[in-house]
Amino acid sequence: MPKHQVINPATQTLLYEYEYTNHSQCLASIEELSTAGTKAQNELFPKKRYEILSSLYALVLKNKEKLAFSITRETGKLIIESRVEVDRALITIQVAAEEAKRITGESYLAESFSGPIQNLAITVRKPLGLIFCITPFNFPLNLALHKICPAFISGNTILYKPSECNHQTAQLLVQLCLEAGFPANVIKLISPTIETLNQIVSHKKIACVSFTGGTKTADKIAALMGRKKLLLELGGNDALVVFPDADLNQAVVQTIAGRFGTGGQKCTAAKRIFIHDDVYDQFKEKLLLSSKPFHDAIKQDPECETSVLGPLISTASALKVKELVDDAIDKGAVCLLGNKLNDAYFSATILENVDANCELFVEETFGPVIPLTRFNSTEKLIEQINQTPYGLQAGVFTNNLALTKKFFSEIEVGTVIMNSGPGYRQENLCFGGVKDSGMGREGISYAVNEMTYCKQLIF
């Protein structure tokens, strides 16, 4: 079986290599999950699942530094950001543990329309079965737990496939799950090749595929999997809008945090910045001043506590961002800052006058690039925001509630955030998009509903 090499994107050195999970091993995991695993889940009660997740919380907390450094070395994420991810993961586990005790149905009178007969209807939530969880590289711990935790507490079994570059982090997570009390036949880690993944995704015993990643990959999975439930958390081309009454300092802070944080490699990063004419020059001046430390940070060590910008996931990814920026400049954009490439590092970059039809503006750019756009017409702005195929989130800086309500009504996204960037996400809240940004919703209780079905008794 071929091996996969995991390269540290910061140093370009080999971290480790591992053997792919072969086809027969994947089939064996599916069989065990759908038989012995299902039986084990049927014997677990809500209180026991709560206790298991409470133990997992304690174990993740105990292993916080080990997990954080594993994430940083595999992805290039700053160590301070990796620690924040572990903190977020702890909240995810905590919310899920509490939710384990709250999965209930309802009862109500079902009055007959044909006569005086009254029936009582009782509904309960039942697990779908085997949930195939496929996660991306950028948040390898927290996004995995956003799938594993709701699947577990709702009585499903879990087939877990991480990104190819997150194998050790995923192994550590599954090890902690088992140590916390997950039955060994309820969660299985696999790392197949793309060819093997294509073969097993349509397996009849997989009830649901929960995928976070790129739109093109999602389309391939959807074409292969047949009539299964499909939950998709895909890309975003999120807008951040600044009106004249905005707190410009806070808008600048959120723009930088959303676009330079994680190297801009997150679906909710503010990828298109729209600034009203009245405050454009003032905002630009503040942004350039605040961005200088990030621009000067090329080739910083992500394991250093004082670093502010790490590498992208690979040299190929950084080169792709460079190509998008150069293409935008060729089409008339002006580079105000950055556009420097060094292996997997791409410098913090700010552009203006970006053509609204260039790929950098229309598609999702996974890198630390801020394209600034002037506007003066709210109607035209909404039309421009909606021209992208994505519809995940949007941030609107204004104190005008009526204006915010208009944006909420007319922008084609899953969430609008007032006076903050589009990167806002909270573990207990609904999360997901429309159009090419996916289908279904995450957020623990919402994911539980997605991973269960309603079963009804009438008498």
Q: In 10 A of CB 412, how many CB atoms?
A: 17
Give the model confidence (pLDDT) of 230-288 as tens digits: 999 999 999 999 999 999 999 999 999 999 999 999 999 999 999 999 999 999 999 99
Q: pTM (2 decimals)?
A: 0.96
Number of C-beta neighbours around residue 113 at 10 A: 5
Does the pLDDT of residue 115 top 80, yes or no?
no
Buried b (16+ CB within 10 A) or exposed e, 25-45: bbeebbebbbeebbebbeebe
> Which are the contacts of 355, defined by CB distance < 8 A and separation ≥ 6?
328, 331, 332, 333, 361
CATH of domain 238-432: 3.40.309.10
Angle at 143 between CA 140 and CA 146, to 5 degrees: 145
Q: Where in the chain is the domain with CATH 3.40.309.10?
A: 238-432
> Smallest Cα–Cα separation from 104: which of 122, 129, 121?
122
Q: Above 70 in pLDDT, residue 332? A: yes
Phi, psi of 369 (to 5 degrees): -125, 125
Identify the band that residue 12 occupies on the pLDDT scale cut at 50, 70 and 90: very high
Burial class of residue 454 (count of CB atoms within 10 Å of its CB; 0-12, 13-18, 19+)? exposed
Above 80 in pLDDT, residue 203?
yes
Three-class DSSP category at 109: strand
DSSP assignment of 161-228: E--GGGHHHHHHHHHHHHHHT--TTTEEE----HHHHHHHTT-TT--EEEEES-HHHHHHHHHHH-SS
Query: In the block, which residue shows the tokens 């976070």?
Result: 212
- DSSP conformation class of 21: P
Asked if 154 and 127 count as a contact pair (C-beta separation under 8 A), the reply is: yes
Which H or E run contains 249?
A: helix 248-260
**Could you tell me if 242 and 276 are in contact, meaning their C-beta atoms sit under 8 angstroms apart?**
yes
Look at 37-51, 112-126, 205-219 and tell me which has the smallest mean pLDDT: 112-126
Instruction: Tell me the three state secondary structure of residue 442.
Output: strand
Mean pLDDT of 304-333: 97
Predicted local distance difference test score (pLDDT) of residue 108: 85
Helices (H), ranges, 76-166: 79-99, 142-153
Is the distance from CB of 212 to CB of 136 less than 8 angstroms? yes
pLDDT for position 297: 73
Rounded Cα gap, residues 379 and 107, in angstroms: 46
pLDDT in tens, 288-314: 999 989 987 788 999 999 999 999 999
The pLDDT, as a whole number, for residue 333 is 98
Residues of the chain with CATH 3.40.605.10: 3-234+437-458
Question: What is the dotted CATH code of the domain comprising 3-234+437-458?
Answer: 3.40.605.10
Q: Which two tokens stand for residue 362?
A: 């229309």
Instruction: For tokens 């204006």, name the residue.
Output: 403
**CB–CB of 335/28 below 8 Å?**
no
Among all residues, which ones are annotated catalytic? 233, 267
What rounded mean pLDDT belongs to the chain? 96
pLDDT in tens, 61-78: 999 999 999 999 999 999
**With pLDDT > 70 as the criterion, what percentage of the chain qualifies?**
98
What is the pLDDT, as a whole number, of residue 5? 97
Contact criterion met (CB below 8 Å) for 167 and 194:
no
